[in-house]
Amino acid sequence: MMDFASDRTGAARCVHARGFSCPTTVRVSLARLVEAALKVWPDLAEPYLRLRVGHDDSATAALWTDVGRDGRSAARIWRELAGGSIRSETAARHCLLLLVIHDGWKRIRSCASPDCQRVFADATNALSRRWCAVHSSRAR
């Protein structure tokens, strides 16, 4: 039986292989929380996005390792997330991991504006957002 501790690189595959599914509304809610966290901690996703170039599993493994090193109780952090707020970078990292495990990295994007590289979380149902909050009004 596969567990997360022994196979950090396949965490997302493990969730899907075990038949867990996450409704779109929950994934969108997680993306909204991550989007809010990225406004406070703009470099939160940067180290993982650089690792994605080669393979998503490398980025997920690094994120999983960092979450494990944070040292705070997952139960306490998840209660904080259930309340709909992120008060620490540790909680933001946990939320990012939950989003990635349930929806992959496809919701974490860079702004399509040529002069901008801001990272944002796409919280649309159709994954149609292309611009960060700064450029979204100018793009239309």
pLDDT band of 85, cuts 50, 70, 90: confident
Lowest mean per-residue pLDDT among 61-65, 84-88, 97-101, 118-122: 84-88
Q: How confident is the model at residue 88 (pLDDT cuts 50, 70, 90)?
A: very high
Please give the residue that has the higher pLDDT: either 34 or 7: 34
Task: Work out the mean pLDDT of the chain and round it to a whole number.
Answer: 82
Spell out the alpha helix ranges (H) of 7-126. Answer: 11-17, 24-40, 46-52, 56-69, 74-82, 89-103
Q: How confident is the model at residue 89 (pLDDT cuts 50, 70, 90)?
A: very high
Contact 94, 75 (CB under 8 A): no
* pTM beyond 0.85, yes or no: no
Query: Residue 14 pLDDT more than 60?
Result: no
Give the integer Cα–Cα distance in Å for 16 and 49: 22
Residue 138's pLDDT is 55
Which 3 state secondary structure label does DSSP give 109?
Answer: strand
| Nearest alpha-carbon partner for 52 in 62, 43, 42 | 62
**Dist CA 125 CA 6 (whole Å):** 33
- Read off the tokens for 87: 């008060």
| CA 129 distance to own-chain centroid | 16
Q: What percent of the chain has pLDDT over 90?
A: 36
> In sequence order, which residues have a C-beta less than 8 Å from that of residue 28 and are 6 or more positions away?
123, 124, 125
Condensed to tens digits (0 to 9), the pLDDT of residues 54-72 reads 677 889 999 999 999 988 8
